[in-house]
A = this chain, B = another copy of it.
Amino acid sequence: MQKKNEQTMNRIFDSAENLFSKKDFHEVKMEEIAKNANVGKGTIYTYFKSKEDLLFKCLMHNLEDHHKKFSEVVNTDKDFKTTLKDAFDFMFDFFKRKSALIQRIMGLMPQLKLSESDIKYAREMFHKTLDVSSDFFQRGIDEGIIINIMTSRQIAIVFQKMFDFNVMFAFYGEPEMSVEDCYRFFTKTFFRQE
């Protein structure tokens, strides 16, 4: 794919991500995606096999991006607590922009008719992403900062998922947690109390 195509594909990606974030898969129409991307309906099909494929590729596109950036955040020479704070900042922001999309897609995954290789790729991607996180928390455990009431992978999952609380807070009209509140919640639960 040449330069020009890359741009077209990215416009499609942006449009699709935007719409899939806001609406249910079946509420999003290919025509709408095409229009918002300023391309013809048929053009999408030169880049993606089907609507499901587009959804899947959107997810992977985001996961890869997230993986890359998150790796950069946690693979650093700073001390654990400082890095954790950076990680919270990063995730807090990422969550705000992408959680709706990812939540939605993951809820749909079981119904997607994916090829064997796609499933394999997705599984690897998910685990690779979790591994980065879990390795980081393992470091916290090894340094004696985090208590091991959970496995490092479980902690990584809680870390990913805890920002969901804010969605519910918003739903019920409660004040949302700031990134500092989130950090405090996390340390209260997982840090060894002095």
Q: Chain A residues in contact with chain B, CB under 8 A?
A: 23-27, 103-104, 106-108, 111, 126-127, 130, 149, 151, 153-154, 157-158, 160-161, 164-165, 168-169, 171-172, 174-175, 184-185, 188-189, 193
Q: How far is the CB of A143 from chain B (nearest CB, A)?
A: 19
The CA-CA distance from A188 to B140 in the complex, in Å, is: 18
Some 30 contacts from A to B, beta carbons below 8 A apart, are A24-B25, A24-B26, A24-B107, A24-B108, A24-B111, A25-B26, A26-B26, A107-B107, A126-B172, A127-B172, A130-B172, A149-B185, A149-B188, A151-B174, A151-B175, A153-B174, A154-B175, A157-B165, A157-B169, A157-B172, A157-B174, A158-B165, A160-B168, A161-B164, A161-B165, A161-B168, A164-B164, A188-B188, A188-B189, A193-B193
Q: How far is the CB of A23 from chain B (nearest CB, A)?
A: 6
Q: How far is the CB of A163 from chain B (nearest CB, A)?
A: 11
The CA-CA distance from A12 to B126 in the complex, in Å, is: 37
The CA-CA distance from A189 to B160 in the complex, in Å, is: 17
The copy count of this chain in the complex is 4
Q: Given the complex, which residues of B lie within 8 Å of A164, measured CB to CB?
A: 161, 164
The CA-CA distance from A127 to B173 in the complex, in Å, is: 10
Closest-by-CB residue of B relative to A156 is: B172
Beyond the given pairs A130-B172, A153-B174, A193-B193, 10 more chain A to chain B contacts, judged by CB atoms under 8 angstroms and listed by A's residue number, are A25-B26, A103-B107, A104-B107, A127-B172, A149-B185, A151-B175, A158-B165, A160-B168, A161-B168, A188-B188
